[in-house]
Amino acid sequence: METCTHSSALDGTRCPCSEMGDQYIKGPVADDRWLPVSAGSECMLQVQVSHRDPRHSARGGSIQALAPHYPKPKDESWFLVLGDREHKELIALKRTGSMRASCRHHLTFRAPQEAGRVIYTLFLLSDSYLGLDQQYPVYLNVQPAGSKA
For the chain, the straight-line distance linking the first and the last C-alpha, in angstroms and rounded, comes to: 11
Among 93, 79, 55, 76, smallest CA distance to 129 is for 76
> What are the two backbone dihedrals, phi and then psi, of residue 110, each rounded to the nearest 5 degrees?
-100, 130
The pLDDT tens digits along the chain (149 residues) read 655 544 333 443 333 333 323 333 334 556 678 989 999 999 999 888 776 665 555 555 667 777 778 888 877 788 999 999 999 999 999 998 766 667 788 899 999 999 999 999 999 998 888 888 889 999 999 999 876 65
Helices (H) and strands (E) in the chain, counts: 1, 8
| CB atoms near residue 110 (< 10 Å) | 13
Instruction: Catalogue all structural domains in the chain, each as residue range(s) with its CATH number.
Output: 1-15+31-53+77-149 (2.60.40.150)
Contact 63, 56 (CB under 8 A): yes
